[in-house]
Amino acid sequence: MTHLLEVRNLHTHFRTPGGGLVRAVDGVSFSLDRGETLGIVGESGSGKSVTSLSIMRLLSKPAGFIAGGEIHLDGRDLLAMSEREMRRVRSKEIAMIFQDPMTSLNPVVPVGRQIAEPLRVHMRMTPRQARGQAIELMGRVGIPEPHQRVDDYPHQFSGGMRQRVMIAIALTCNPKLLIADEPTTALDVTIQAQILELIRQLQAELEMAVIIITHDLGVVAGVADRVNVMYGGRIVESGPTDYIFEQPRMPYTIGLLRSVPRVDDDSDNRLVPIRGTPPDMGKPIVGCAFAPRCDHAHSRCLDAAPTLRTVAPDHRAACHFDITLDTPTTAAPSVPAIEWGGVSSNP
């Protein structure tokens, strides 16, 4: 059986006003099966959001464009589709929710009508049917008293409830794939727990595949079956969630896990940060993008970018060396460290 989603060697670039080119996504390949949850982890600028926008073909034009690669959904190439066909895919097959629901909701339209709109347009429901279905969906995503709240406006809802409204809209057409881009970043922890629980529960009921994009390793650990770690526009490690967290093989993943303060850690140990700053995507990256910050880097890392290779069954990492959690970090790195002065933006 083919995968539900297959991304092959995706390259997404942005032209900058100064005539430069940002390779936001630089050769990304992965697949996703039906009912599976994939976590994409990375820092700002790693290409995680651009990957999902590329799948939806929602890049801001004309600056952003897909420079190469293939994206197959159920065996059909999304990049070869007309805009008309693509709209069908967005309405019936892939749904997306974002970090800030307030910017995706229309402030002057009651939420019930916003949920009903896709039902009327795509499912050809009558206004009455659509309204009934909207109320049912609101109940399903845990909005209390949906009958009373269906005519309320977005500003009358709290952040968590707005995200529930977004999820209700996303569910209108029974999508096969839900892409959630930082769905809980703007929410408080107790509300985050509610929303993650809702996504988990709906996924089990509806057998949707989910891509959850986040910078929070804790969120991924709790919901994802598989994880892609992104850095500098590439996937640098990929595998089942347990492998990524228990036996990480890419120095960046190891560094991230070590640098996060954990609530279950009672020791007073100093955090072990990753030194330096993420790469400037406006400049071409030669070699491994992580090399300037890596404790294990050799001259080879600066010359040639490592390919994503299989390091264990079903587990791939992009590193020239066999680094594990047990590999001692060398005190003096063999590559000159970039000092704090690595200026990130253009002067």
Partner 1 sequence: MQPLVQVNDLKMHFPLRKGIVVQRQIGSVKAVDGISFDIDEGETLGLVGESGCGKSTAGRAILQVRKPTAGSVRFRGTELVGLGKAGMSVYRRHLQMIFQDPYASLNPRISVGEAIAEPIRVHGLRHGADVAQRVRELMEMVGLSQSMMTRYPHEFSGGQRQRIGIARALAVEPEFIVCDEPVSALDVSIQAQVINLLEDLQQRLNLTYLFIAHDLGAVKHVSNRIVVMYLGKIVEIADSVEIYRRPLHPYSKALVSAVPVPSPKLERKRSRILLNGDLPSPINPPSGCRFHTRCPIAIKRCATEEPPLVEHGSKHKAACWMI
Note whether 297 binds partner 1 by CB under 8 A: no
Which one of 65, 153, 245, 321 is in contact with partner 1 (CB under 8 A)?
245
Output the smallest distance, CB 314 to partner 1, in A.
15
Output the smallest distance, CB 111 to partner 1, in A.
15
> Which positions from 303 to 342 touch partner 1 by CB under 8 A, shown as an x/- string?
------------------------------------xxxx
d(C-alpha 133, C-alpha 140), whole Å: 10
Stretch that binds partner 1, among 167-175, 204-212, 220-228, 327-335 (CB under 8 A): 220-228
- Residue 122 or 200 having the CB closest to partner 1: 200
- The residue count for binding partner 1 (CB under 8 A) is 55
Note whether 158 binds partner 1 by CB under 8 A: yes
Output the smallest distance, CB 242 to partner 1, in A.
5
- Residue 102 or 257 having the CB closest to partner 1: 257
- Residue 53 or 256 having the CB closest to partner 1: 256
Which one of 144, 313, 328, 336 is in contact with partner 1 (CB under 8 A)?
144
Output the smallest distance, CB 225 to partner 1, in A.
10
Output the smallest distance, CB 341 to partner 1, in A.
5
- Per CB under 8 A, contacts with partner 1 among 250-279 are 255-257, 259-266, 270-275, 277-278
Q: What is the crossing angle of helices 111-122 and 83-92, to 10°?
A: 120
Note whether 127 binds partner 1 by CB under 8 A: no
Note whether 219 binds partner 1 by CB under 8 A: yes
How many Å from the N-terminal Cα to the C-terminal Cα in the chain?
52
d(C-alpha 80, C-alpha 265), whole Å: 50
Burial class (CB in 10 A: 0-12, 13-18, 19+), 104: middle
Note whether 143 binds partner 1 by CB under 8 A: no
Stretch that binds partner 1, among 14-22, 126-134, 169-177, 215-223 (CB under 8 A): 215-223
User: In the Cβ-directed half-sphere of 326, how many Cα atoms lie within 13 Å?
Assistant: 1
- Per CB under 8 A, contacts with partner 1 among 20-49 are 43-44
Note whether 217 binds partner 1 by CB under 8 A: yes
Query: Where does this chain bind partner 1 (CB under 8 A)?
Result: 43-44, 144, 158, 160-161, 188-194, 196-197, 215-222, 241-242, 245-246, 255-257, 259-266, 270-275, 277-278, 293, 339-345, 347
